[in-house]
Chains A and B, each alone.
Chain A
Amino acid sequence: MNTLADRAARWSQRTLVTLIYVFLWLPILVVAVVSIDTSTFLRFPPQGFSLDPYRTVFSTPEFMTGLVSSLIIAAFTTVITLAVAICASLAFTRQSFRGSGAAQAFLTSPLLVPNIVLGLALLLLFSPLALNDTYTGLVLAHVVLCLPYAIRTISVSLSTVDVSGEDAARVLGASPWVTFRRVTLPLIRPGVIAGAVLSFLVSFDEAVVSLFLAGYNITPLPVTLLDHLETQAGPEVAALSVLLILFSLLAVLAVERALGLGRSLRTRS
């Protein structure tokens, strides 16, 4: 039965959900609109239409070097994070050892510490080690930030995999390494890919910690953006932001298409 009350309830629900999404997306929409303005500073509403801000993005050398730095950092961060996260997750889900809970809490604690505190702490720690403003230092810092995400997705995948499959492979003659490569890894692939995408995006977006640790030699893109905002806050900043949003969106969509990111993030045993 489609009574009037039912229909009213359904429509008010839809309206509410729509409004929530509009509220969430509005700032991004504003940025998108501003990014095609003709002015030389940020303003809203825009008073012209031009794609010049996008041209400016690609003709500003700091943006391009920033992009390259960020890509290099994100790539190394992702590889190292995955290697550490897979080992840690295997230990947490397959072994029971003293201090397992403490180690798990320790590795996921960066989520709880404000990034500004973490940035300052790393700056103080890295200064005597001459790691400030180096790729090594930035990658190390980003690995710390990304580990909680990767460990989470990979552990969840691992806990859904039946251990007896690994036992069967071992009895059939597979060494521990071969068992991992031919049985465990293929089965936790969704979690590993989800962890890789999250790590890459977290590292690529990271501004606060990078702000403490970078400056002269290496300037990741988000830091470049902040520097740029201080001196000339033109619509090219908005244009770059739009490009970054599109990049993140495409990465998530590609993975979602390939194996369902939503599913691999949510799966539980």
Chain B
Amino acid sequence: MRKEYPGAQAPAVDGVDLRVRQGEMLALLGPSGCGKTTTLRMVAGLVEPTAGTITVAGRDVTQVPVHRRGMGMVFQSFALLPHLSVAGNVAFGLDMRKLPAAEKKRRVAEILDRVQLGHLAQRRIGQLSGGQQQRVALARALVVDPSVLLLDEPLSALDAKLRESLRTEIREMQLSSGTTAVFVTHDQDEALSMADRVAVMDAGRVAQIGTPQEIYENPADVFVATFIGRANLLDGVLGTSGVDVPGLGTLPVTTSRPPGPVTALLRPQAVQLLDSPSSQGFAGNVRSASYTGDQITYRIDAAGHTFEVDTVATGAPLDRGAAVRIAWEPAAVKVLPPRNAT
């Protein structure tokens, strides 16, 4: 399956060009107002692109009206129809496809069993909990065998506990049905844990697209680096031997970037806290510590910078002001375009 929009020129979405592979789940991740929902609604046909095309399985559907695109969509508000029962909602798309009553009944029963709601088929929508409504919405979208499954912030109306269990459930449903899916979220954990590939969007553009690992480990710029996970950012100048950072000297790096101003990225878990007194690394002091059970995150002042450092919790956190040394592998330093030059 291919999907392209060379340059949808709506102000909200500017030049987004994405290809989703058959059976893949692609996440559109970005802060609110970055154009991810508009992009999804253009794919669904609910919003008309100003320019550009949308292609599904080689067929240009840009001019096809929304009700003939054969897609399935799950909305943030679930968008269930309150005047119909659970089964009535799920059967809606099959009604539109004029399926024989027997087959309709069979498919509704089958999908409701798969989302473990078989016993609630005759309930009114208002009688269901949030998680149950979410499952009805998913069943309703999947029962029609959609060419593409579109999910618009499907979990953000639910509480944290439910969100995590439904993540797995949605992903498993999508994998077992082999449906190609596009998934919009502002939650980086959701995107990283559910999607095959993630497209990070910023101000109507795709900042980077790649597997969760690629995006986390090799972010394209400072925006992606800070939006996905936490980051220590060091501004400096790239020279022949490494990045010159005020206070830290020259940090050896491997990069193909041309010399000039850059921002160096260091993930908190790449920084090590050296316990034995040594001359390695940089000397610093603990500014604060936050203990989360399995891990302690320190903020450490060293050489005129403040570093965030993740350590595995092996006892009580160090006291505020304690003298420590920090160090990192040269390969852990990623060189990004300078942060103000975008």
Contact = CB atoms under 8 A, between A and B. Distances in A.
B121 interface: no
Contact of A167 (B46, B68, B80, B97): B46
A11 to B, nearest CB: 42
B97 A171 contact: no
Contacts of B46: 167, 170-171
A174 B96 contact: yes
Contacts of B69: 171
Contact of B79 (A167, A178, A182): A167
Contacts of A72: none
B75 interface: yes
A165 B81 contact: yes
A167 B69 CA distance: 13
B81 A183 contact: yes
A187 interface: yes
B44 interface: yes
Nearest to B71: A171
Contacts of A174: 67, 92, 96
B97 A168 contact: no
B39 to A, nearest CB: 15
Contact of B66 (A162, A165, A170, A178): A170
Interface string A161-179: 0101101111111111011
A173 B68 contact: yes
Contacts of A169: 81, 92
B67 A170 contact: yes
Contact of B67 (A164, A165, A171, A187): A171
A179 B93 CA distance: 11
Contacts of A176: 67
A162 B93 contact: no
Nearest to A173: B96
A48 interface: no
A172 B140 contact: yes
Interface in A147-203: 162, 164-165, 167-176, 178-179, 182-183, 186-187
A183 B44 CA distance: 19
B82 interface: yes
Contacts of A164: 75-77, 79
A267 B324 CA distance: 64
A225 to B, nearest CB: 42
Given A167-B46, A187-B83, A173 B77 contact: no
Contacts of A172: 67, 72, 92-93, 96, 140-141, 144
B75 A167 contact: yes
Contact of A187 (B82, B141, B150): B82
A175 B67 contact: yes
B42 to A, nearest CB: 13
A171 B82 CA distance: 17
Given A186-B83, A187-B82, A171 B66 contact: yes
A191 to B, nearest CB: 14
A187 B97 CA distance: 22
Interface string B54-92: 000000000001111111110111011111000000001
Interface string B89-103: 000110011000000
Nearest to B89: A168
A186 B80 CA distance: 14
Interface string A104-128: 0000000000000000000000000
B81 A168 contact: yes
A187 B126 CA distance: 14
Nearest to A178: B96
B96 A168 contact: no
Contact of A162 (B45, B65, B79, B92): B79
A200 B96 CA distance: 35
Contacts of B71: 171
A173 B67 CA distance: 4
Interface string B245-265: 000000000000000000000
Nearest to A166: B79
Contact of A168 (B45, B70, B79, B83): B79
A172 B69 CA distance: 9
Interface of A: 162, 164-165, 167-176, 178-179, 182-183, 186-187
23 contacts: A164-B79, A167-B75, A168-B73, A168-B79, A168-B140, A169-B81, A170-B45, A171-B44, A171-B45, A171-B71, A171-B72, A172-B93, A172-B141, A173-B93, A173-B144, A174-B96, A175-B67, A176-B67, A178-B67, A179-B67, A182-B92, A186-B83, A187-B82
Given A167-B75, A172-B93, A178-B96, 18 more contacts: A162-B77, A164-B77, A165-B82, A167-B46, A168-B81, A170-B45, A170-B66, A171-B44, A171-B66, A171-B71, A172-B96, A172-B140, A173-B93, A173-B144, A174-B92, A175-B65, A175-B67, A182-B92
Closest 5 CB pairs of A and B: A173-B96, A172-B93, A164-B79, A168-B79, A171-B73
